[in-house]
Amino acid sequence: MIDWTIALPDQVVVTGTASGLGEETARLLLDAGVRVYGVDVADPAADLTKADAFAAVRGSVTEAGTWRDVVDALQAHAPAGVTSLGFVGAAAVLDVGILDDEDPAVWRRAWEINVLGNVIALQALLPLLTAAEHGAVVAVSSVNAQFGEQQLAAYSSSKAALTGAIRTIALDYARRGVQINILAPGPMRAGLFERHLASAADPEKFLATRQARQPIGRIPGADEVARAAAFLLSPAASAVFGTTLTADGGLTAGFDFRTGDEGSSA
């Protein structure tokens, strides 16, 4: 096979780097030579912490003070101005439940982190993104933004809200020179899905059922979805704007994927 390389921003801010897609995205970018600013309330993995090009910013994505720290770190590293900058908003929370059992605090937390966390981040970063020679935003939503999933009403509604917000923000800033897009993963063998799996009555059966639904026959890894995020950060994605890139292993390509085990002729 022939290798094809893409350019990436010199510096990228990634949220949720303590686990899952955020962690894998940070790792991929570091391997490519990008300086990464990892934002999370928890400590990142040891290999990230040891990387010279990784700067951990400890704090909640919902706090303005966290984003002041991020901006200070970016400007300290590039006092003459940031030439290329990316943002990947991967931080998210997922709680499993139904309305009978859920406190409204569960919904507030989902919306504050999954939606407002990205909005507050962009309020802080857009001045730098618009001033940079290349700026790119990848807001991580979910296929749940468009499809309901049992026991995930708070999570799904927050991702639908995030998708609507980012599309509109993209239009508002369309002439400012910043690529703004949405990445919609399906289930990944990473943090949120693993917690959902752990909550199942029969995790082994649940996993087998979910994998059988996938046209590719497996749950994609977070590292695979991270590569889609990297593409959206690149100038190579310049024709992709204000839209959603779905990275779900074909889950939403149809409504009824059949393997033949159901007695069908497929």
221, HSE (Cβ side, Cα atoms, 13 Å): 7
Stretch (H or E) spanning 185: strand 178-185
Residues 14-30: b if buried by 16+ CB within 10 A, e if exposed = bbbbbbbbbbbbbbbbb
Active site residue 37: no
Q: What is the DSSP string of 128-159?
A: HHHHSSEEEEEEE--GGGTS--TTBHHHHHHH
CB 118 within 8 A of CB 89: yes
Q: Which residues pair with 54 in a beta bridge?
A: 36
Residue type, 202: D
Q: Contact, 16 vs 66, CB < 8 A?
A: no
CA atoms in the 13 A half-sphere facing the CB of 152: 24
What is the rounded radius of gyration, in angstroms, for the C-alpha atoms of the chain? 19
252: number of Cβ within 10 Å:
14
Which of 67, 111, 155, 193 is catalytic? The answer is 155
Across the strands, what pairs with 57? 39
**What residues act catalytically?**
155
